[in-house]
Amino acid sequence: MRTQKMVPAITLDPSYFKQKTNNTVDHHHQHENIVIEEIKGLIKVYKDGHVERPQIVPCVTAAVADPELGVTSMDIVIDRFTNVSSRFYVPKRHGMNSMKKLPLLVYFHGGGFCAGSTAWSCYHEFLAKLAAKAGCVIMSVNYRLAPEHPLPAAYEDGLRALVWLKQQAFCERGGEENNQWWSTQCDFSRIFLVGDSAGANIAHNVITRLLCSGTILLPLIIKGVILVQPFFGGEARTSSEKYYYMVQPRHSVLNLAASDTYWRLALPAGSNRDHPWCNPLANGSCFGSDSVAMMVCISELDILKDRELEFCAAMARAGKNVETVVYRGVGHAFQVLDKSMLAQTRCHEMIAHIKAFVENN
């Protein structure tokens, strides 16, 4: 039985906080049930399975966008049975470039598998900017969350999104009617799987499943994978995890206690952090083919830094070509949750690195 864990609050930039006027709580329910897991401000899980997620980050509609970016955005349901949807971003183009089809980034948001949404304002703003600056169409997948849907649900949703995308590509080839406002802009032979934090873990596990199973997704061709601060774990603590054990990392939204809680909620019952979905270096892990390029983006002040560097080193030992970028002076999820001048500078650098990686692959 899980014991109650009171995890220190995760610190977000003040501009992302809002009054939780819409988050009403049944007080009778609150007093009658025991909280067995909690990350303050993000998720509270009761013994009877009831889950509360305060709206700590505002949600926005697809229509909300910076007009200067010139990006069109729309939500599309891709699986009515599971209610999985995607938010698409298509940048406006001018002149001769308007005829050239664009790479497609399939993006998975972060949140420890338990929180987050494609509608979170921070992701909406970041992905609209990424689409405009990097010149890519983006498909942001709103996958199912744990603990209601523990892993591998998120991985299955990622694979399902690619199968749906394959169907759209066939429709486009055959001239059949589909969501042409975005599909006519896409070069389906240049697909990149991208994600941050838990989303990066999803991207890694989705490409691993595809490569190790030999699954064919033609006419889709996956050219690369971009892992931004990938959320990995393990029973043995790394140096960066030990260093930040008692202290919230400066300019970082993830602490060790919250990380452990996310894994307890997301992994199958009875699993520990050496489960291969959590620890990609565990025995039996498959890295698949080296035909897919990879870039890993790491934050210097992230508790996950050492684990991510170990992952990159293991990939290199396995003969994989991995581009590693370390962003100095910033922490976990800085590109979406830190409004400081330094974080904004590093965010522009990250977008430039993603753009270059896509153009070179």
Helix (H, G, I), strand (E, B), or coil: what is residue 72? strand
Whether residue 88 is contained in a domain is answered as yes
Whether residue 17 is contained in a domain is answered as no
Whether residue 284 is contained in a domain is answered as yes
- Any idea what the CATH number is for the domain that residue 299 is in? 3.40.50.1820
pLDDT in tens, the chain (361 residues): 343 343 333 334 434 333 333 343 444 445 458 999 999 999 999 999 899 999 899 999 998 777 889 999 999 999 999 999 999 999 987 655 667 899 999 999 999 999 999 999 999 999 999 999 999 999 999 999 999 999 999 999 999 999 999 999 988 665 555 567 899 999 999 999 999 999 999 999 999 999 888 888 999 999 999 999 999 999 999 999 998 776 766 777 899 999 999 999 999 999 999 999 999 998 756 666 667 999 999 999 999 999 999 999 999 888 888 999 999 999 999 999 999 999 999 999 999 999 999 999 9
Whether residue 11 is contained in a domain is answered as no
In angstroms, the CA 78 to CA 8 distance is 36
pLDDT of residue 16: 37
Q: What is the pTM of this model?
A: 0.90
In angstroms, the CA 283 to CA 302 distance is 25
Rounded to 5°, the CA angle 50-54-55 comes to 135
Task: Look up tokens 């009403």; give the residue.
Answer: 24
Q: Which of 197, 240, 259, 299 is the catalytic position?
A: 197
Cα distances (Å, whole numbers) of residue 209 to 179, 213, 275, 286: 28, 6, 15, 8
pLDDT of residue 11: 38
Whether residue 7 is contained in a domain is answered as no
Whether residue 256 is contained in a domain is answered as yes
Q: Which of 157, 196, 302, 338 is the catalytic position?
A: 302
Rounded to 5°, the CA angle 265-271-272 comes to 90
Cα distances (Å, whole numbers) of residue 83 to 36, 99, 162, 171, 180: 27, 34, 15, 22, 22
Catalytic residue list contains 251: no
Closest CA to 194 of 163, 228, 219: 228
Task: Look up tokens 């307890």; give the residue.
Answer: 264
180 CB contacts (<8 Å, ≥6 apart)? Answer: 172
pLDDT of residue 179: 62
Catalytic residue list contains 332: yes
Whether residue 352 is contained in a domain is answered as yes
pLDDT of residue 7: 38
The count of domains in the chain is 1
Catalytic residue list contains 302: yes
pLDDT of residue 176: 56
Q: Which domain holds residue 236?
A: 35-360
In angstroms, the CA 355 to CA 146 distance is 32
Whether residue 26 is contained in a domain is answered as no
Radius of gyration of the chain (CA): 20
The answer to whether residues 184 and 216 touch, using CB atoms and an 8 Å cutoff, is: no
